[in-house]
Amino acid sequence: MSTQSRFQGQVAVVTGAAGGIGGATAQRFAEDGADVVLVDLDGTALEEIAARVERAGTNPHVITADVSNPSSVEDYVSQALDRFGRVDAFFNNAGVLGPWRNLFEYSEEDFDHVMSVNVKGVWLGMKSVAEAMMKSGGGAIVNTASVAGLSGTPTVFAYGASKHAVVGMTKSAALSLGSHNIRVNAVCPAIIDTPMGEAVLRGGNPDDIDAAKDRVSEMYPLGRIGQPEEVAALVTYLCSSDASFITGGIYPVDGGSRAR
Ligand code: NAD
């Protein structure tokens, strides 16, 4: 069935929009009829995604912002409201991997940075966007966690901690916001073919990226790593009216790797 008009008249805000998963999801929202607001720290890369969204048929609003900064978060939400009047869907997705370090190797500075983007940024985004959604009668929020939010990842210690926090915040927010007709879910990708996915592969085997990709792919029942469009398909489904009874859910998009 065509999904081309399922977000017609709706507004979607995407953070981390200049990255692989955020860019593919912004494009999918636009293809499915939404007005789109693109938020990222990297203003240059955002321009390229903005061009892709325009080719999909809509003129996006582009905002360079740091999601871990409270006043920047308030600003991107108020810019979205000034431009489009409402927010119906929010993909709360910006994140950093942080260094490839274990429990003992992590510096306090690196730990704080990962937590400030991946945890504080997700919290601040949900808070400001939910306030706007409450005024307009509801909406849907999808947070990006990770399979690293479902089991331990000793090699990227703070990242794993931060994504477990995203899972917890998603459940708590779903409980708080259900009565306001705001659904909150999280997606948990395994390795996806983006700059961050490549950084994960390089962390595991810096000398031979193809060998690392092959080895990881063998661990996934579907025999390959994922594509950003495959995450975008789940995110947009969860934001659509087809998912109207789904909230507080934590959804792997992982090629079956967690079935092992
Ligand atoms: P990516 O590196 O391509 O994109 C991440 C984007 O977030 C970048 O454009 C970056 O500029 C932006 N960003 C970082 N810090 C920011 C900040 N403080 N304020 C605003 N923007 C900021 O990576 P991706 O793979 O597209 O990752 C998207 C999300 O998916 C992240 O939350 C990541 O943790 C998660 N994830 C990725 C994978 C994977 O293998 N690619 C797996 C599981 C989860």
pLDDT tens-digit map of 99-143:
999 999 999 999 999 999 999 999 999 999 999 999 999 999 999
Specify the pLDDT at position 206.
Answer: 74
Query: Which residue in 76, 159, 220, 251 is the catalytic one?
Result: 159
Residue nearest to atom 9 of ligand 1 (CA): 19
Specify the pLDDT at position 208.
Answer: 86
Nearest to 238 by CA among 41, 52, 32: 32
CB 33 within 8 A of CB 89: no
- pLDDT of 13 strictly over 80: yes
pLDDT band at 209 (very low <50, low <70, confident <90, very high): confident
Specify the pLDDT at position 203.
Answer: 87
Radius of gyration of the chain from its Cα atoms, rounded to whole angstroms: 17
CB 187 within 8 A of CB 238: yes
- pLDDT of 1 strictly over 60: no
Atom of ligand 1 nearest to the CA of 17: 9
DSSP state of 61: E
Nearest to 255 by CA among 191, 187, 211: 191
Residues 6+ apart with CB under 8 A from 207: none
Percentage of residues of the chain with pLDDT beyond 70:
99
Specify the pLDDT at position 207.
Answer: 81
Measured on CA atoms in the order 24, 26, 29, 31, is the torsion positive or negative? negative
| Cα atoms in the 13 Å half-sphere on the side-chain side of 237 | 13
Give mean pLDDT, residues 210-235. 93
- 45 Cα: distance to centroid of ligand 1 (angstroms): 13
Q: Is the CB of 42 under 6 A from ligand 1?
A: yes
CB 122 within 8 A of CB 166: yes
Please give the Cα distance from 51 to 108 (Å, whole number): 38
Percentage of residues of the chain with pLDDT beyond 90:
91
pLDDT band at 213 (very low <50, low <70, confident <90, very high): confident
Length of the chain, please?
260
Specify the pLDDT at position 113.
Answer: 98
- Chain-wide mean pLDDT for the chain? 96
Atom of ligand 1 nearest to the CA of 97: 34
Is 159 assigned a catalytic role?
A: yes
Residue nearest to atom 34 of ligand 1 (CA): 95
CB 29 within 8 A of CB 22: no
Specify the pLDDT at position 212.
Answer: 86
Residue nearest to atom 17 of ligand 1 (CA): 66
pLDDT tens-digit map of 179-207:
999 999 999 999 999 999 999 998 877 78
Nearest to 16 by CA among 242, 244, 235, 212: 235
CB 145 within 8 A of CB 188: yes
Specify the pLDDT at position 205.
Answer: 74
Residue nearest to atom 18 of ligand 1 (CA): 66
Give mean pLDDT, residues 230-259. 97
